[in-house]
């Protein structure tokens, strides 16, 4: 059987001129490792196929497999032992799986079971496209809202306050469907977080962007969260090629880059997060949700094993976390 390389096997850590590869160590407190954020990638299947989707998600992409509750539970329990402060569910679209998409059932029951259990351990945030399938889960979400209040947060992507710009990325009619979902969630008492990628917006200042989204939801309580960088991976690579471009070259991030770029290693997700993905039938730990299905960055099969040094050797380390303002998958209201 082919053995997958384990991080940092196979990575160049020293350049011929002696420069050392930059790295991030996991957070410690009182002499032991601690985890703040646990990311669960529920699979790469999605009802949409957005042009820039960095996981290349689509109705046909099952490379990242759905994680069943029974498989996930021991990992959630381990995260609780390491003090997890927030659990995130993302994908793909967490509310769909193969059975939901193919019409055999209307709800992703495995996800709901995971969600219910996760909420007993820590606050939870779900990243959803808010289009169609989340609506089949409204009743369950409302029950969880009554039980857990603001511990359950919903983050919904709306690429632009302009319908045509959102639909050009996500598909015709998706803007109206997602806006309706956000309004319904707000009516249920949720405080939806609207997420967008800043590079795709025409408006520039935080204030203009916030006001444009607020105007759309006229008076409903929403929060606006921006992702600062777009990843050159997944469907975005296809889009770049179709536009006649080429992805930026990979950069060697040295130990000096942190001070040159003004980023502290402690500010990066790999310092305080880990991400669970299921590939080829097995749960694997990654440093963060922006690196997936790449054996060079696999940190182990348990959380304890994964809490070790991460060398910044992925293109996404620069493209997402270090470039420009630097991006993070944590929510931060503008
Ligand atoms: S960006 Fe989100 S909604 Fe769009 S295809 Fe990817 S996972 Fe699905
Ligand atoms: S992408 Fe960012 S968070 Fe992930 S390993 Fe690289 S620097 Fe760390």
Distances (CA, A) of 224 to 86, 159, 167, 177: 19, 11, 19, 18
What residues contact 193, with CB distance under 8 A and at least 6 apart? 125, 153, 154, 155, 156, 222, 223, 224, 225, 331, 333
Q: Compute the distance between CA of residue 326 and CA of residue 286 in angstroms, rounded to an integer.
A: 20
> DSSP class of residue 227?
E
Torsion of CA 79, 80, 86, 88, to 10 degrees: 50
46 close to 66: Cβ distance less than 8 angstroms: no
DSSP letter string, 112-159: HHHHHHHHHHS-EEEEE--SSGGGGGHHHHHHHHHHHGGGEEEEEE-S
152 strand-pairing partners:
124
Residue 3, pLDDT score:
64
Q: Compute the distance between CA of residue 34 and CA of residue 299 in angstroms, rounded to an integer.
A: 16
Pocket probe for ligand 1: among 40, 57, 197, the residue whose CB has the most ligand atoms within 8 Å is 57
The CA angle 137-124-33, to the nearest 5 degrees, is 150
Ligand 1 atom 1 nearest Cα: 53
Block residue for tokens 């959803």 = 128
Residue 97, pLDDT score:
96
Phi-psi region of 293 (alpha: psi -120 to 50; beta: other; left: phi over 0): left
Ligand 1 atom 7 nearest Cα: 92
What residues contact 291, with CB distance under 8 A and at least 6 apart? 275, 297, 314, 316
253 close to 239: Cβ distance less than 8 angstroms: no
Cβ of 268 less than 6 Å from ligand 2: yes
Distances (CA, A) of 106 to 114, 132, 136: 17, 11, 6
Distances (CA, A) of 151 to 43, 116, 126, 278, 313: 23, 11, 11, 26, 35
Cβ of 270 less than 6 Å from ligand 2: yes
Ligand 2 atom 2 nearest Cα: 317
Residue 298, pLDDT score:
96
Residue 78, pLDDT score:
98
**Which CATH code fits 23-322?**
3.20.20.70
Protein residues with CB under 6 Å of any ligand 1 atom: 46, 48-50, 53, 55, 57, 91-93, 129
Ligand 1 atom 3 nearest Cα: 129
Residue 139 C-beta-side C-alpha neighbours within 13 Å: 5
Per residue of the chain (334 residues), give pLDDT as tens. Answer: 456 778 999 899 999 999 999 999 999 999 999 999 999 999 999 999 999 999 999 999 999 999 999 999 999 999 999 999 999 999 999 999 999 999 999 999 999 999 999 999 999 999 999 999 999 999 999 999 999 999 999 999 999 999 999 999 999 999 999 999 999 999 999 999 999 999 999 998 999 999 999 999 988 999 999 999 999 989 999 989 999 999 988 889 999 999 999 999 999 999 999 999 999 999 999 999 999 999 999 999 999 999 999 999 999 999 999 999 999 999 999 9
Residue 146, pLDDT score:
97
Please say whether the dihedral angle defined by the alpha carbons of residues 277, 280, 283 and 286, taken in this order, is positive or negative.
negative
Pairing of strands 37-41, 86-90: parallel
Domain residue ranges of the chain, discontinuous segments joined by +: 23-322
Pairing of strands 310-311, 23-24: antiparallel
Reported pTM = 0.96
Residue 250, pLDDT score:
87
């Amino acid at each position: 059987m082919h053995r997958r390389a384990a991080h940092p096997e196979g990575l160049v850590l020293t350049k011929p001129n002696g420069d050392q590869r930059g790295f991030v160590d996991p957070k410690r407190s009182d002499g032991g490792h601690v985890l703040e954020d646990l990311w669960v990638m529920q699979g790469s299947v999605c009802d949409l196929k957005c042009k820039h989707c960095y996981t290349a998600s689509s109705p046909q992409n099952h490379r990242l497999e759905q994680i069943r509750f029974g498989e996930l539970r021991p990992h959630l329990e381990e995260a609780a032992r390491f003090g997890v402060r927030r659990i995130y569910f993302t994908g793909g679209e967490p509310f769909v799986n193969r059975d939901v998409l193919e019409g055999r059932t209307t709800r992703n029951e495995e996800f709901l079971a995971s969600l219910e259990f996760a909420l007993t351990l820590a606050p939870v945030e779900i990243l959803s496209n808010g289009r169609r399938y989340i609506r089949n889960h409204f009743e369950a979400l409302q029950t969880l809202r009554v039980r857990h209040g603001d511990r359950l947060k919903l983050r919904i992507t709306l690429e632009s306050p302009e319908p045509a710009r959102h639909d050009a990325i996500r598909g015709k009619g998706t803007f109206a469907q997602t806006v309706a979902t956000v309004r319904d969630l707000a009516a249920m008492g949720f405080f939806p977080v609207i997420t967008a990628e800043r590079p795709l917006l025409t408006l520039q200042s935080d204030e203009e962007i916030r006001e444009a989204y607020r105007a759309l939801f006229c008076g409903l309580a929403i929060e606006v969260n921006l992702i600062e960088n777009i990843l050159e991976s997944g469907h975005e690579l296809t889009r770049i090629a179709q536009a006649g471009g080429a992805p930026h070259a990979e950069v060697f991030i040295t130990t000096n880059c942190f001070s040159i770029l003004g980023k502290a290693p402690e500010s990066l997700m790999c310092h305080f997060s880990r991400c669970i993905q299921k590939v080829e039938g097995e749960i694997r730990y990654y440093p963060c949700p922006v690196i997936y299905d790449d054996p060079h960055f696999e940190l182990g099969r348990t959380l304890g094993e994964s809490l070790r040094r991460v060398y910044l050797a992925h293109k996404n380390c620069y493209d997402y976390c270090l470039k420009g303002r630097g991006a993070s998958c944590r929510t931060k209201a503008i």
